[in-house]
Structure 1
Amino acid sequence: MTEVVVPRLATRSSRAWVVGTGVALVVVSVAISVVQPASLPFAAGFLVVLGLLAARALSARVRLDDRGGTLTRTRWLARSRRVELAGATDVRLVDNRGGGLNLTVRSPQGTVLVPVLLLSAYVKASQPPGLLRRFADVVERDVPRARDVVTALRAQATHLERGGDAASSPLAALTTRGVVSAAAGGGAAGAGGTIGNLTD
């Protein structure tokens, strides 16, 4: 097995919404600068800052090296961060309170967040089952104490392999949005959650 880049959790409609919002902001800025020429420097500066922030956000990548047992996060204009799972002090599946669930790995080298599930108004997506199983295998091998995390990742993979969707998946109950949706349908109740804690 080799290094793999963790996919972004997005759909075509969510990408279209982001692009549409960006275009709308550009149009509004240009219109304001035409009506009020004195505001041109401000509008130009705003667009430059917006472009830099967007480029930095879009450049973020997380790579898994399952053979070496490492996670590496890279981002434009920022130092890369590499953590070894074998030396992890904490491995959890953590609700980000925004409809997302991250595999959070903390180690002496720093912390890396891996998006596992996202349930929002525009995106309902999970990492593919093959990648979930790769993460489960690496965590099981290098962090044997994180059994709950391994079990949860494999349950998610099995659900998807059987044709289930992200919104009704096992991990959805751990997200703020997932729990709200389940409660509305008579399912689980609560306000998000966490699986795994090596310090317990």
Structure 2
Amino acid sequence: MSKSYHHGSLRDSLLEAGRRQVLEEGAASVTLRGLAKRVGVSHSAPLRHFDDRHALLDAIAAAGFAELIDELESAAQLSSLQARLSQYARAHARFALENGPLLDLMFSARAGDGAAATSAAEFFALGGRLLGERAERAPGPLPYLLAATLEGIGSLVSSGRLPVERVDEVVDEAVAMLLPAVQERLSS
């Protein structure tokens, strides 16, 4: 058994190793048995923390959402809508550039009652707050439109179809296109 397992951090070790594997080889390559081997524990040890591969991937996706939300939170503190939208979009694109396969996993996870679904709901709620929606309501369509736009840009970035040196230009143009629609929606 590995030293980390004895210290009670097997779950964290599996999540960290799983994330690295998602980033290096894609989510399809991740297995409980393979991760057990990577972290140096018996092939059944991961089952103490994850019922199956799906539960492990759900936890990796949830951790990815938590990290993305942390990066995006600073945008919500800015006073102008344009500044919030710009910083949010740039942070999302940067996350995609650095974590493309993880972002793919996060947004391909099925909606349900798992940890990734809860984290995704928090992500969309943050988008709603950023766009000026009231927190007591479920997010309207704008946070989903914003996420879809940024996910599209992120996908282009992570696949190499959008050259890194053009990311800021494309993000700025997306913000310029979305801003009037968001302002109009908020004023009505």
Q: TM-score, normalised by structure 2?
A: 0.31
Normalising to structure 1: TM-score of the pair?
A: 0.29
Q: Higher Cα Rg: structure 1 or 2?
A: 1
* Bigger strand fraction: 1
